[in-house]
A and B are shown apart, each in its own frame.
Chain A
Amino acid sequence: MMPQPRPWPYAIEFDQVERIDCDVLVVGGGAAGCMAASGAAESGARVVVLEKAATVASGASGSGSDHWESAATNPCSKITPEELTDAMIRAHDGFNNGISHYIETREGWDRLLDIEAARGKIRDTDDDFAGAPFRDEKTKLLFAYDYDNRFNIRVWGQTFKHAQLRSAKRKGVKFVERTMATALLTEGGRHGARVIGAMAINGRTGKCVVIRAKATVLCTSRPTRIWLFIPGAPGISEFRPPQCTGDAHAMSWRIGAEFTMLEKAIKAEWSGNRSFPPYGAGNNHNSWYACTMVDAEGREVPWLDRDGSELATVDERYRPAPGQKFFLKGGGEPDIPVYEFQGPETLSVDDLMARGYKLPLYADLSKMPEAERRVIWGVMIGNEGKTKIPIMKNYTDRGFDPSKHRLQSYGDGWKSGAFLPQERQFFGLPGGLMNDWTLMTNVEGLFAAGDALFASNCYGHACATGHYAGRHAAAYASRVGDVTLHEPQVEAERSKLYAPLRQAKGVSWHELNFAITRLMQHHCGAFKTDQLLMRGLDALAAMERDDASRLTGQNPHDLIRIHETRNILTTAQIVLHSCLARKAGSKALHFTRLDSPDIDPPEWNKFVTVRDSGSGVAVGEKPLDYYGNLPDNYERHNRDYIDRRSKT
């Protein structure tokens, strides 16, 4: 039943301004943001986190995570950070963030230990899996995917956000919750100048918050709702929270920050009415790796190694192929596997049909060894971000028993979704902010971490880059003097916060968001041309001028949604500019042009960057290996950290 309109239940503070001073401002309190705050506070900085929701359960992993990837320095790993980062880069034809993933492989294990120290659970301390092939008996760590090489760790991620928040608070970090950052403030109010703080608004009271900071770290994940949006249910089956609306992307674009790889958007995998909830239908990937699949008549689907040889046992699904040192992730990860690092996978649906298998397929945990069944259903599905309640609890309540039942698979193979080619999504290392070796952007004083960075993913990456950006932001803040806000800029931004309240009649954020996604599907779908992209930009500009200016709302909650939708519009514009700037197709970037038949011509094997110069869009480029020698540069920029860790 629809609730009735009612008086707003919280005190209204539209006329109030709170001023906060700090050394390091962290925007977003998810996995990356909490760790950035801790990293900065450990360096002695006064730290403030702006969080749009409540930190304990906020962000893409606020409700959990089931495994931690690429912890190459854990005591059981047989792969070095250099080997693993090199594999990740080559598996994406060079279109990857060498800096951030080297940080992930080199420091991820350190961050897991930090989380454990704050009572996050990373080991099988109750010996529930004693003797299992994925367990190391000495450390009690449980591993996923490649059981020989042991660099991906199964974790009880439901405990992590609590631990991270506890740890940051203990270090003196101040959390300003239910408060959304809406604009970055710059020295002298100038475009492209040093960032010295941010504007924000409280989503319950409407109070304006003005933060003065010597350094700022952006940790607001990757945007959703660019191509896909269902009014009335934008969060259904979405992997990332629909409140991740590219707030950092939009704010930093408006002051001149540089982006790369935003031309990469893959055909959608999970969203809305096109797919089932993530990991909620029968499949054999990620959380469910490497579950036995069967056809309608109970015939087991063959698993193959990279050479096409059929695997005789379940255990072989977790081992490298003959002659292969290690594999990255089994089950067709990444989307375009590279032979050298390709893991085991089941036969494709087409091949299965040709061999007489009958649809539908099912995931059959009852046919897995008991320990594998319990670790998939209990640890993985019990801890992944969107599975503990909607899948494990709700299915169990309805009678599902993994030792007796098989779960149906739908649609496009394991993904259990069937999307149209124009329905795109940021998934599988999408673009984002460009970074240097301190994770600073091209704008002085502005850092980024986690999924705000280009080519990023996963909890371990978020935490590792978060801590790294936090401590480098703190080091930067310690070198610069006091900053002075440009009050006309503060006033101008404050006025924008409340403009929708003055619109008696206008456009709802739902309607505008829906219109943006329709526009993006038509102008920036599977196939690009300059004419289409430019038409899209014109249409977005008209929408910004004529419709976004008429967004209307009544209360602080509405204002948050309205400012989010404006950010979605801006992010859509960045995407179109990014697509326009790349003039040839790219397999690794899932980027196809109808007006240029070339795929991956050598001259386009480079990062293309875009930024708002203040007088137009500036296109730039960087070589794919712009980060140089990974260990040398890492050690040059992190001598203090290395020395400190070696002492402890």
Chain B
Amino acid sequence: MSEPVMAVPDPMVFTPIIIDDDLCIGCNLCVLVCQADLFLPHPEKGGAPTVFYGGECWYEGSCVDHCPVPGAITLNTQLFNRVHWEESTPS
């Protein structure tokens, strides 16, 4: 294989995961635990990973669950999956 090996992203219809680059400490725990291996680590140590194969997300949130910094990574619910709730009526 003489050609350089490239990473080419999946088509991504939705935005399953949002990383806050300012909060992320680049620990790569999300990269470590993701079942789909959808993140790629930042080329430089300490940089935020990239959601690269976002189309393969299972939406279970292990990345959020393992993240040591609250708010650094968010599992984003798609608009069509937003469930409605309202004040309950009195019994």
Chain B: CB-nearest residue to A243: B35
Chain B: CB-nearest residue to A297: B89
Compute how far the CA of A407 lies from the CA of B84 in the bound complex, rounded to whole angstroms. 6
Contact indicator A406/B86 (Cβ below 8 Å): yes
A178 sits at the interface (CB 8 A): yes
Residues of B contacting A54 with CB < 8 Å? Answer: 32-35
From A232-240, A254-262, A421-429, A482-490, the one touching the partner chain is: A232-240
Interface extent on A, as a size class?
35 or more
Residues of A contacting B55 with CB < 8 Å? Answer: 231-234
Contact indicator B87/A405 (Cβ below 8 Å): yes
Say whether chain B's binding surface is mostly helix, strand, loop, or mixed. loop
A372 sits at the interface (CB 8 A): no
Interface extent on B, as a size class?
35 or more
In the assembled complex, how far is the CB of residue A435 from the closest CB belonging to chain B, in whole angstroms?
27
Select one of B5, B53, B83, B87 contacting A280, CB under 8 A: B83
Of the candidates B88, B90, B91, the one having the most CB atoms from chain A within 10 angstroms of its own CB is B88
In the assembled complex, how far is the CB of residue A132 from the closest CB belonging to chain B, in whole angstroms?
21
Contact indicator B89/A298 (Cβ below 8 Å): yes
B68 sits at the interface (CB 8 A): no
Residues of A contacting B85 with CB < 8 Å? Answer: 362, 395, 400, 405-408
Compute how far the CA of A81 lies from the CA of B88 in the bound complex, rounded to whole angstroms. 42
From A316-324, A382-390, A603-611, A620-628, the one touching the partner chain is: A382-390
Residues of A contacting B14 with CB < 8 Å? Answer: 232-233, 236
Contact with A along B22-55 (1 / 0, CB 8 A): 0000000000111111001101000000111101
Contact indicator A231/B11 (Cβ below 8 Å): yes
From A5-13, A107-115, A143-151, the one touching the partner chain is: A5-13
With A237-B81, A298-B89, A400-B85 as given contacts, are A393 and B64 in contact (CB-CB < 8 Å)? yes
Contact with A along B54-68 (1 / 0, CB 8 A): 011111111011100
Contact indicator A404/B88 (Cβ below 8 Å): yes
Contact indicator B1/A14 (Cβ below 8 Å): yes
Contact indicator A242/B89 (Cβ below 8 Å): no
Contact indicator B11/A241 (Cβ below 8 Å): no
A501 sits at the interface (CB 8 A): yes
A366 sits at the interface (CB 8 A): yes
Chain A: CB-nearest residue to B62: A57
With A231-B11, A298-B88 as given contacts, are A389 and B75 in contact (CB-CB < 8 Å)? yes
A95 sits at the interface (CB 8 A): no
Residues of B contacting A6 with CB < 8 Å? Answer: 6-7, 40
Contact indicator A555/B7 (Cβ below 8 Å): yes
Select one of B9, B36, B78 contacting A3, CB under 8 A: B9
In the assembled complex, how far is the CB of residue B79 from the closest CB belonging to chain A, in whole angstroms?
12
Residues of A contacting B16 with CB < 8 Å? Answer: 233
Contact indicator A280/B81 (Cβ below 8 Å): yes
B12 sits at the interface (CB 8 A): yes
Contact with A along B5-21 (1 / 0, CB 8 A): 11111111110100000
Contact with B along A256-285 (1 / 0, CB 8 A): 000000000000000001001100111000
In the assembled complex, how far is the CB of residue B6 from the closest CB belonging to chain A, in whole angstroms?
5
Compute how far the CA of A568 lies from the CA of B69 in the bound complex, rounded to whole angstroms. 38
- Ordered by A's residue number, 27 sampled pairs between the chains whose C-beta atoms are within 8 Å are A2-B9, A5-B9, A7-B4, A53-B37, A57-B62, A58-B35, A62-B62, A158-B65, A178-B37, A232-B11, A232-B55, A233-B14, A237-B59, A237-B81, A241-B35, A241-B36, A362-B85, A367-B88, A389-B64, A390-B75, A393-B61, A395-B85, A407-B85, A408-B84, A408-B85, A554-B8, A557-B53
Q: Which residues of A contact B (CB under 8 A)?
A: 2-9, 12, 14, 53-54, 56-59, 62-63, 158, 178, 203-204, 230-238, 241-243, 273, 276-277, 280-282, 294, 297-298, 362, 364, 366-367, 385-386, 388-390, 393-395, 400, 404-408, 410, 501, 510, 554-555, 557-558, 560-561
A-B pairs, 6 with minimum CB distance: A389-B61, A298-B89, A232-B13, A235-B58, A8-B5, A57-B33
